[in-house]
Amino acid sequence: MSKKIERPKDKYKHFVISKIEYECDKRDIDNKHQQIIARASESKYNRKRRDPGKFTLDELTRFADRLKIPVWELLNPNIK
């Protein structure tokens, strides 16, 4: 059983994770497939979810390509 992951305190970091999770939920992409998209092990992916600043641009680009959204939508909370 996995531990509950604490959300980042920084609102911009929180936005990145919230946006990824929201878009993945809309497309029925579970946590295991998110790890595959990020090409990371479970523990490494969970660490990056706790601190989204550790995501590389390449990983965010892979998420954006898989979710069929522009990368900047993952990064900018002011764009709807």
Query: How high is the pLDDT of residue 80?
Result: 56
Q: What are the pLDDT digits (tens) for 24-50?
A: 999 999 999 999 999 999 999 999 988
Contact 23, 67 (CB under 8 A): yes
Q: What are the pLDDT digits (tens) for 7-21?
A: 656 777 888 888 999
Query: How high is the pLDDT of residue 2?
Result: 62
**Whole-angstrom Cα distance, residue 20 to residue 71?**
11
